[in-house]
Amino acid sequence: MTDEERTAAARERTAAEERSVFSHEPVAPDATRAYGDHPDQVVDFYAPQGGRTPAPLVVMMHGGAWRAPYDRLHVTPFARFLARRGLAVAVPEYR
């Protein structure tokens, strides 16, 4: 495979990953709490399902890339997936 072909393949993988990530609708959190004064200083919480307490906590930091579509909303389907498996999940927004 040439360098040009590798570059093209890498670009296609990246594009496919973006399409996959944004193909799922955002999922509403169980609770949202502020941790500062700025509107972006909030954390969404997803409660563990299945009655396991205390539950391990997963803190999901979205990549962001400082671009509008890459906020905490695109990780919410995965946050709900983890909560359904008995994990507590926190998804902070940040600035």
Bridge partners of 34?
42
The predicted pLDDT at position 92 comes to: 93
The predicted pLDDT at position 22 comes to: 66
Mean pLDDT by 10 residues, the chain (95 residues): 92 78 83 94 94 89 66 85 93 85
Q: pTM of the entire structure?
A: 0.72
The predicted pLDDT at position 24 comes to: 80
d(CA 1, CA 12): 15
Phi-psi region of 46 (alpha: psi -120 to 50; beta: other; left: phi over 0): beta
User: Is residue 30 within 8 Å of residue 87, measured between CB atoms?
Assistant: no
To 10 degrees, the CA torsion angle through 37, 60, 88, 24? 100
